[in-house]
Amino acid sequence: MSDEELAEFLARGEEGYRRQLVDFAGMGEEEATAKAARDYPGLFPGGRPLPEHFVFVVEEVSGHAVGHVFYAVRPPGSRKAWLYDIEIAEESRGRGYGREAMRLFEEEAADRGITTVGLHVFGGNEPARSLY
Q: pTM here? A: 0.82
User: pLDDT band at residue 65, thresholds of 50, 70 and 90?
Assistant: confident
In this prediction, residue 126 carries a pLDDT of 67
pLDDT interval class at 132 (50, 70, 90)? low
Task: Write out the DSSP string of the chain.
Answer: --HHHHHHHHHHHHHHHHHHHHHTT---HHHHHHHHHHHHHHHSGGGS--TTEEEEEEE-TTS-EEEEEEEEESSTTSSEEEEEEEEE-GGGTTSSHHHHHHHHHHHHHHHTT--EEEE---TT-HHHHHH-
